[in-house]
């Protein structure tokens, strides 16, 4: 009863959500702070009579808010159910193996190869530098490619690229091939390249409200790019599901996008906690990669990442371990509140 293409799929595996006990959950990069208080006020007074109607299929008001915030035109903004849906539509709209392989980092977001398999796109994993940073020159050596996708900061390493490196890539890469910069974690110290989308018409920037705006349970992503790229995403959406973002999500997202001051204070707390935690973990003899995300990638010499993961889990703390050659000695640790990271440091000192 299953199709042959279905049998060949290897699905993405999210971070575990165990129910056997209460854990300190530092494995899925969720924001430890609540969303804007203005959202709670909206929900308390929300007119449920509106829910009998379909939502705006173009998300006009939300796209207007996003355009205002990032100083672009509404026609350059597309919204979706989480950034994963935006990624899926982008893979379908812009990537064609007839033009070569899709290029992305060797160690990166593991959904990229899943989408490639789903849409029948050939891909090539590009090696990182010895310090786990991304080498843009490596990508330019591969002249036969249908596109490039790079998370900035990268996951699971947390290492960010400078805008100058991305500009170098954009200037040298063929203008008729898309370059996607996945900025899921950009709010935590990286520098966005949204401002470059006007100059480089083949640049698509993908963002999410899950991390920086504490709305992982809501599922809202958006893209910023040229009108040509944005229009193509609308064609894909309307060929798949013309009403993807629900009414409440649109309204909540409008509020979140507008509450700059609140989220600035949240982000600053997370960055400060990350920096102190990284420093203290290094004092304990751990190797901690320089992170611009809301997580750190760390390991300790002589102990495998799997053993670290298991020991912390025994102590009621969840971190993320990747059973992948080349990064097996590391675990990814989400940055929680200060008291949560202090607890982890206490347990880390015993390992």
Q: What is the CATH number of the domain that holds 334?
A: 3.90.1150.10
Which of 259, 290, 313 is at the close of a domain? 259
Helices (H) and strands (E) in the chain, counts: 12, 13
For residues 93 and 233, membership in a common domain is answered with: yes
For residues 185 and 298, membership in a common domain is answered with: no
For residues 305 and 192, membership in a common domain is answered with: no
Distances (CA, A) of 283 to 117, 276, 286, 340, 348: 42, 11, 7, 18, 11
Domain containing residue 22: 4-34+261-348
For residues 22 and 124, membership in a common domain is answered with: no
For residues 323 and 216, membership in a common domain is answered with: no
Which of 228, 259, 290 is at the close of a domain? 259
Burial class from Cβ neighbours inside 10 Å (0-12, 13-18, 19+) for residue 283 reads exposed
Instruction: Provide the strand spans (E) within the chain.
Output: 24-25, 77-80, 101-105, 123-126, 145-151, 178-182, 203-208, 221-225, 286-288, 295-300, 317-318, 320-321, 331-334
Which of 218, 244, 259 is at the close of a domain? 259
Structure-derived torsion over alpha carbons of residues 55, 56, 58, 63, reported in degrees to the nearest 10:
-100
Partner residues linked to 331 by β-bridges: 298, 321
Confirm if 137 and 103 have CB atoms less than 8 A apart.
no
pTM of the model: 0.94
For residues 117 and 231, membership in a common domain is answered with: yes
Written as tens digits, the pLDDT of the chain (351 aa) is 777 667 666 776 666 666 555 889 999 999 999 999 999 999 999 999 999 999 999 999 999 999 999 999 999 999 999 999 999 999 999 999 888 999 999 999 999 999 999 999 999 999 999 999 999 988 998 778 999 999 999 999 999 999 999 999 999 999 999 999 999 999 999 999 999 999 999 999 999 999 999 999 999 999 999 999 999 999 999 998 888 899 999 999 999 999 999 999 999 999 999 999 999 999 999 999 999 999 999 999 999 999 999 999 999 999 999 999 999 999 999 999 999 999 999 999 998
Q: Is 45 helix (H, G, I), strand (E, B) or coil?
A: coil
Question: Residues with Cβ < 8 Å from 164, sequence gap 6 or more?
Answer: none
For residues 117 and 83, membership in a common domain is answered with: yes
For residues 58 and 138, membership in a common domain is answered with: yes
For residues 252 and 279, membership in a common domain is answered with: no
For residues 52 and 146, membership in a common domain is answered with: yes
Token reading at 281: 């973990």
């Amino acid at each position: 009863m299953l199709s042959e293409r279905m049998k060949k799929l290897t699905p993405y595996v999210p971070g575990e959500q165990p129910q056997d006990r209460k854990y300190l959950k530092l494995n899925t990069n969720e924001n430890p702070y609540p969303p804007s208080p203005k959202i709670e006020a909206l929900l308390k007074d929300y007119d449920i009579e509106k829910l009998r109607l379909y939502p705006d299929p173009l998300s006009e008001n939300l796209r207007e808010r996003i355009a205002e915030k990032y100083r672009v035109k509404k026609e350059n903004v597309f919204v979706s159910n989480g950034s994963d849906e935006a990624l899926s539509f982008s893979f379908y709209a812009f990537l064609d193996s007839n033009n070569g392989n899709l290029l992305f980092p060797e160690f990166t977001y593991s959904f990229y190869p899943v989408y490639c398999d789903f849409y029948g796109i050939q891909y090539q994993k590009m090696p990182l530098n010895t310090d786990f940073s991304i080498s843009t020159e490596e990508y330019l050596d591969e002249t036969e490619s249908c596109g490039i996708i790079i998370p900035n900061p990268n996951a699971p390493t947390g290492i960010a690229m400078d805008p100058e490196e991305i500009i170098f890539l954009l200037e040298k890469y063929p203008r008729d091939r898309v370059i996607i910069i996945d900025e899921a974690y950009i709010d935590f110290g990286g520098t966005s390249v949204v401002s470059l989308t006007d100059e480089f018409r083949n640049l698509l920037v993908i963002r999410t409200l899950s991390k920086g705006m504490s709305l992982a349970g809501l599922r809202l992503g958006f893209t910023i790019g040229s009108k040509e790229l944005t229009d193509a995403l609308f064609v894909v959406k309307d060929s798949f599901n013309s009403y993807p973002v629900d009414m409440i999500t649109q309204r909540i997202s409008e509020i979140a996008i507008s509450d700059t001051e609140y989220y600035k204070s949240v982000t600053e707390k997370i960055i400060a906690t990350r920096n102190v935690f990284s420093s203290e973990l290094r004092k304990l003899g751990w190797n901690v990669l320089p992170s611009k995300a809301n997580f750190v990638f760390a390991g300790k010499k002589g102990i495998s990442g799997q053993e670290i993961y298991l020991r912390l889990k025994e102590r009621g703390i969840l971190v993320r371990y990747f059973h992948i050659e080349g990064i097996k000695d590391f675990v990814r640790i989400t940055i929680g509140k200060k008291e949560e990271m202090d607890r982890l440091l206490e347990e880390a000192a015993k390992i």
